[in-house]
């Protein structure tokens, strides 16, 4: 393999095991690709060149000795910069954590290393994962590799763009309200939000604990499934992690797909709807029975999500005070309250400040019951409706995003417009169900993603359906 193609993880693993290429060659190819392309895309905040090459050399030595190196066999992987990496700066895309180097690896990072992966860098993100375009990063926006004048999606835009541009075969993101599926749809790659509790959150710097989940990006469904298998499983360090997930028996309803009409409501572009129905028709051709349904509670999902997410954010971000890690100001402040306020004012960006203020408001006396408790009630109703739907259907499908990727700067001045693009992705975060985004656009068109949602711990069912869509559209 003289010309190393980084778009197929499984093919690379096979080539490394057969001795067609060394791990050092593959990692060097990835680093060279990053150096060549990232000045225009801005997918990475931190590049881990020296340590990555040292790790690659060590793994090559193990292979020569005949030792096992894990399922990922030296593959270069990018990690979103909200996930802790020992000895490697982790900023959350924020000035307030500039220079912070975690003393430990997140569980998912430890699992990647156990599987033989090489961490080549940390990817760009909306500050503290709060955004849908990566425009709210303190390090500048990530540009879409398909059209560099357009957003890559967010908040895991760097991870999605890195895979789409062929800089790495695999990457990790986090998904609080669509932050994996949005960049996957906008960049034309595959992205999975796993079942809440199926992947450890230990080492993920929290935005909204009850909603977020770490998940994989890949250029194709098989590679996405491979990375998910490597990072999933129980973790005693994470109290939200499931030790013994329930076994899901296959049945006739597994082949039945519900398409809520609310997913195609106001704001969904015609081009998006056409491409998504192309993917749904592929499921029909693959033997699935598709029926349109109505889920009235979906109309309330977005406001409920933002109330809950902002409330949790206001609590989680109280820990950043400029005293223990990250940004610190020069002395001269007479009291702690003044220093705390000045440091946070300088360190946090406008979107983070907005969400902290709104979250504090909905949790305050007199408004807690009017907003936060009502949002939680809507969340429970939505869970119940999804569970009822899954007694009749094996999957739920619709557009991942209501629009194709828009121009950088086009919506950033209107927070409500920005929040509205999450309208189809937030329900699985509220309910905890797994969801995947698979590309369904034709070559030459702007990327569009089909979102497929499954019952709890039915990721394999998602991969099977997404694979049918992927193979069908590849033949067209």
Task: Name the DSSP class of 148.
Answer: E
Catalytic residue among 22, 30, 33, 80: 80
Question: What is the C-alpha radius of gyration for the chain, rounded to an integer number of angstroms?
Answer: 21
Give yes or no: 137 in active site.
Answer: no
Question: 44 with 135: CB under 8 angstroms?
Answer: no
C-alpha dist (Å) from residue 47 to 80, 81, 133: 12, 11, 21
List 94, 132, 155, 314, catalytic entry: 155
Beta strands in 256-339 (DSSP E): 256-260, 289-293
H-assigned helices in 20-106: 23-41, 49-64
Which residues fall within 8 angstroms of residue 132, CB to CB, at 6 or more apart?
A: 126, 153, 154, 155, 178, 179, 182, 418, 419, 421, 422
Host H or E run for residue 299: helix 298-316
155 catalytic, yes or no?
yes
Distance CA 190, CA 181 (A): 8
Residues 6+ apart with CB under 8 A from 294: 260, 261, 262
What are φ and ψ of residue 312, in 5° steps? -70, -35
Burial 43-63 (b: 16+ CB within 10 A, else e): bbbbbbeeebbebbeebbebb
Q: How far apart are CA 175 and CA 196, in angstroms?
A: 10
Q: 159, 179, 200, 232: which is the annotated catalytic residue? A: 179
Give, rounded to a whole angstrom, the gap between the first and last alpha carbons of the chain.
29
Dig out the tokens for 369 from the structure: 């019951």
The half-sphere exposure of 377 on its side-chain side, counting CA atoms within 13 A, is 7
Catalytic residues: 80, 155, 179
């Amino acid at each position: 393999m003289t010309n190393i193609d980084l778009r197929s993880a499984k093919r690379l693993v096979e080539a490394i095991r057969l001795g067609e290429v060394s791990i050092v060659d593959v990692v060097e190819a990835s680093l060279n690709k990053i150096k060549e392309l990232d000045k225009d895309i801005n997918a990475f905040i931190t590049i881990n060149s020296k340590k990555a090459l040292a790790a690659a050399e060590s793994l090559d030595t193990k292979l020569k000795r005949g030792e096992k190196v894990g399922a990922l066999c030296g593959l270069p992987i990018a990690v979103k910069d909200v996930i802790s990496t020992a000895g490697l700066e982790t900023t959350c895309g924020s000035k307030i954590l500039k220079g912070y180097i975690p003393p430990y690896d997140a569980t998912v990072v430890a699992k990647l290393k156990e599987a033989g992966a090489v961490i080549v860098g940390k990817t760009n993100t909306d500050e503290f994962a709060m955004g849908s375009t990566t425009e709210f990063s303190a390090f500048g926006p990530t540009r879409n590799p398909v059209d560099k004048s357009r957003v890559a999606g967010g908040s895991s835009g760097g991870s999605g763009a890195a895979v789409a541009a062929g800089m790495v075969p695999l990457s990790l993101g986090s998904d609080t309200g669509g932050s994996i599926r949005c960049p996957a749809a906008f960049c034309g790659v595959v992205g999975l939000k796993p079942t809440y509790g199926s992947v450890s959150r230990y080492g993920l710097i929290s935005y909204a604990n009850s909603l977020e989940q770490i998940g994989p990006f890949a250029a194709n469904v098989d590679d996405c499934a491979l990375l998910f298998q490597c990072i999933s499983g129980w973790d005693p360090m994470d109290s939200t992690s499931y030790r013994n997930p329930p076994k899901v028996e296959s049945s006739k309803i597994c082949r039945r797909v519900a398409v809520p009409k609310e997913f195609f409501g106001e704001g969904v572009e015609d081009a998006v709807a056409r491409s998504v129905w192309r993917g749904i028709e592929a499921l029909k051709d693959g033997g699935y029975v598709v029926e349109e349904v109505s889920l009235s509670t979906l109309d309330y999902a977005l406001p409920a999500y933002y109330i809950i997410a902002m409330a949790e954010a206001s609590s989680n971000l109280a820990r950043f005070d400029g005293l223990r890690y990250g940004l610190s100001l020069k002395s001269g402040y007479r009291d702690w309250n003044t220093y705390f306020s000045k440091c946070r004012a300088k360190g946090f960006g406008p979107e983070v400040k907005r969400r902290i203020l709104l979250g504090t408001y909905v949790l305050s006396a007199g408004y807690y019951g009017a907003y936060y408790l009502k949002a939680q009630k809507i969340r429970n109703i939505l869970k119940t409706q999804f569970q009822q739907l899954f007694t009749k259907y094996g999957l739920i499908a619709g557009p991942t995003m209501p629009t194709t990727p828009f121009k950088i700067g086009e919506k950033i001045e209107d927070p409500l417009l920005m929040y509205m693009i999450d309208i189809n992705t937030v329900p699985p975060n509220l309910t905890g169900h797994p969801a995947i985004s698979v590309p369904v656009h034709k070559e030459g068109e702007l990327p569009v993603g089909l979102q497929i949602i499954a019952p709890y711990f039915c990721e394999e069912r998602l991969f099977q359906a997404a694979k049918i869509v992927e193979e069908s559209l590849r033949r067209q």
